[in-house]
Structure 1
Amino acid sequence: MPMPRNQQICLEDTPYYHCVSRCVRHAFLCGENPITGVSYEHRRAWVENRLLFLASIFSIDICAYAVMSNHLHVVVHVDLEDAGNWSTMDVLKRWHKLHKGTTFTQQYVTGEQLPKYVVSIVEKVAKTYRERLTSISWFMKELNEPIARKANAEEKCTGHFWEGRFKTQALLDEAALLACMAYVDLNPIRSNICKTPETSDHTSIKKRVVFAREGYQSKMLHPFVGNPKKDMSKGLPFRLQDYLELVDATGRIIRTDKSGSIDVSLLPILQRLNISTDNWLAIAKEFEGKTGRVVGKEMSIHSYCESHHMHRRPSRNSTKLLA
């Protein structure tokens, strides 16, 4: 029996999640219709732009993403601490970028003098909005629904655009996070859409490379802050250079369909995370197929099962691949 969504996403376990949404009418929804020859490639830009726009409003950071012809991958980080520091005004201004809110919230934002009971109502509403702005379910809803309406209007049709609800995977440790991000960034190469990461349109890896060439990191994406250390800044616990080199080397192996080891210069990051090169290549190619709804090392999954009082482990877990 499927686990309810509110049990699949537990920020006490991890703030990192892999989300996947798939289309119902196959590749031509965001690619080219093989029957009519009509191209809907421009819709991939719709999805990418909406995704990055929402990241500027929600307290949810984008670690990696890939907008494919018939599905979307995104790895997110939920920042509850940041959202907790927002004032009522901050919350309302953010929410009003998405929705009108209520008459009272509009009046509050414009600075009108309001009775105390109205201010109390506004603060309660803002509390609800704050919770929504840290919710992955609300994030995906605000992403998928507008895209579906826009696509249906373009085709002059009705019906579902996305295939049911989005799929989530909890990424319990650094190894799972790194493996999932690389899998997402390498999706176009694995699908033979492009030859190199920096030429893979509508992906986070291309955006990171573009900004890295200028000597800095994209503010639209969750930053790399280096290897874990005391009092480190918020961000991904890896060096950007290490990650880009690792993804590039893995992409070359996947593209040429060769077996064997990754370049020796890339071993340190895998050694630090205790991932064998053979297992790295396997999971970089088939992360979804090799993993279930929670991903991590043996100890991470054991702790997860204990905290959730689970007698049986999640099916198809990735313990062996990340060991």
Structure 2
Amino acid sequence: MPIPRSQQVSLESTPYYHCISRCVRRAFLCGEDPVTGSSYEHRRGWIEKRLLFLASVFSIDICAYAIMSNHLHVVLHVDPEKAQNWSARDVLEKWHRLHKGTPYTQQYVKGEALSPFALKLVEASVESFRHRLIDISWFMKELNEPIARHANAEDKCTGHFWEGRFKSQALLDEAALIACMAYVDLNPVRANMSDTPETSDFTSIKHRIGFLKRNSQPKFLSPFVGNPRQDMPNGLPFQLNDYLELVDMTGRVINSQKRGLIDVSFLPILQRLGISADNWLCIATQFGKKTENVVGRAYSVARYCESKNRKRQLKRQNALLFA
């Protein structure tokens, strides 16, 4: 039986989540369908554009993404503190970029006078919208529904485009986070769609490299802010160059199909996170197969299961690669 979404997402345990959406019957979302010969490559651009737009609206940052032919991966970071600091007008203006809201919220944003009763309704709407803007389910809904409508209109058909539920995995610590990000960024390389990470279209790694050439980081992707320290700014707790080197070397090993060609164990970032080279290569190629809905080091999984009254042994395999 599927685990309720409310039990899968716990911001007290972690703000990081890996989400996967698949097309119904594994049908082609993008690329060229070898059966019909039809090309849907342009739809990958729809999704990337929508993803980056949603990052500018929600208090949810995108850490990594990869848009494949019949599914998509996205690693998200939820920032409830930022949403709490938004004013009522900030919340409404953001929500109105997605939906019309109510007549009262429209009047409020325009600065029109409202009765006390109407103001109370506006306040209730603000808190409801503020909660939605830190909700992963709402984020995925706002991503998937417009794409489905657009694709169905293009195909002149009706019905479900995506599977009913997106898959969600809680990433409990830095080791799980960087492993999942690398797994997502290397999806096209593993699928033989690209030779290198920097040529992997519609991935966060290519998007970041494009900005790095201009000596900057993408505005709507979670920034790399360096290794953990005091007064840590919001962002990914790694050095950008370390991460790029890790993904590049891992991609070379995957392409060569010779594990001994490059010894990734020499990379400082793996040493800091305590991940062996053999475990890393298994993670980078089989993260989706080897993990369930909670991923992290053994003590992280144990702490999570204890806080949620879950049986630790049910999630033991999620911690093995990070032990």
Residue 178 of structure 1 is matched in structure 2 by 178
Residue 104 of structure 2 is matched in structure 1 by 104
Residue 301 of structure 1 is matched in structure 2 by 301
- Asked whether the 8 Å contact 1:92–1:105 carries over to 2, the reply is yes
Residue 276 of structure 2 is matched in structure 1 by 276
Alignment of 1:221-240 (within 5 A): 221-240=221-240
Which SS does the other structure have where 2:33 is aligned? coil
Aligned equivalents of 1:67 and 1:141: distance in 2? 16
- Asked whether the 8 Å contact 1:29–1:69 carries over to 2, the reply is yes
Aligned equivalents of 2:270 and 2:236: distance in 1? 15
Query: In the alignment, does 2:321 pair up with 1:292?
Result: no
Aligned equivalents of 1:35 and 1:265: distance in 2? 42
Unaligned 5+ residue runs, structure 1? none
Deviation, structure 1 residue 27: 4.8
Deviation, structure 1 residue 240: 0.1
Aligned equivalents of 1:179 and 1:26: distance in 2? 25
- Asked whether the 8 Å contact 1:15–1:78 carries over to 2, the reply is yes
- Asked whether the 8 Å contact 1:17–1:76 carries over to 2, the reply is yes
Aligned equivalents of 2:118 and 2:9: distance in 1? 34
Query: In the alignment, does 2:38 pair up with 1:41?
Result: no
Residue 63 of structure 1 is matched in structure 2 by 63
Deviation, structure 1 residue 38: 1.3
Which SS does the other structure have where 1:29 is aligned? coil
User: Which TM-score applies when normalising by structure 2?
Assistant: 0.97
Which SS does the other structure have where 2:158 is aligned? coil
- Asked whether the 8 Å contact 2:169–2:293 carries over to 1, the reply is yes
Aligned equivalents of 1:165 and 1:12: distance in 2? 23
1:266-293, CA deviations, whole angstroms, 9 ceiling, x for partnerless residues? 5211010000010000010010100010
Change (3 A) 1:84 1:313: farther
1:158-179, CA deviations, whole angstroms, 9 ceiling, x for partnerless residues? 1111122100000000000000
Query: In the alignment, does 2:315 pair up with 1:322?
Result: no
Once structures 1 and 2 are overlaid, which stretch shifts more, 230-239 or 21-30? 21-30
Q: Which amino acid in the other structure matches residue 242 of structure 1? A: D
Aligned equivalents of 2:5 and 2:22: distance in 1? 17
- Asked whether the 8 Å contact 2:55–2:62 carries over to 1, the reply is yes
Residue 189 of structure 2 is matched in structure 1 by 189
Q: Which amino acid in the other structure matches residue 182 of structure 2? A: A
Residue 145 of structure 2 is matched in structure 1 by 145
Once structures 1 and 2 are overlaid, which stretch shifts more, 177-186 or 35-44? 35-44
Aligned equivalents of 1:221 and 1:140: distance in 2? 16
Q: Which amino acid in the other structure matches residue 104 of structure 2? A: F
1:198-232, CA deviations, whole angstroms, 9 ceiling, x for partnerless residues? 10000000011011111111111000000000001
Q: How many residues align?
A: 323
Residue 78 of structure 2 is matched in structure 1 by 78
Q: Which amino acid in the other structure matches residue 208 of structure 1? A: R
Q: Which amino acid in the other structure matches residue 105 of structure 1? A: T
Aligned equivalents of 2:268 and 2:141: distance in 1? 39
Aligned equivalents of 1:75 and 1:313: distance in 2? 26
Residue 247 of structure 1 is matched in structure 2 by 247
Residue 23 of structure 1 is matched in structure 2 by 23
User: Which TM-score applies when normalising by structure 1?
Assistant: 0.97
Query: In the alignment, does 2:18 pair up with 1:6?
Result: no
Aligned equivalents of 1:318 and 1:257: distance in 2? 25
Residue 118 of structure 1 is matched in structure 2 by 118
Deviation, structure 1 residue 126: 0.6
1:251-306, CA deviations, whole angstroms, 9 ceiling, x for partnerless residues? 00001111237446852110100000100000100101000100000000000010
1:61-98, CA deviations, whole angstroms, 9 ceiling, x for partnerless residues? 00000000000000000000000000000000000000
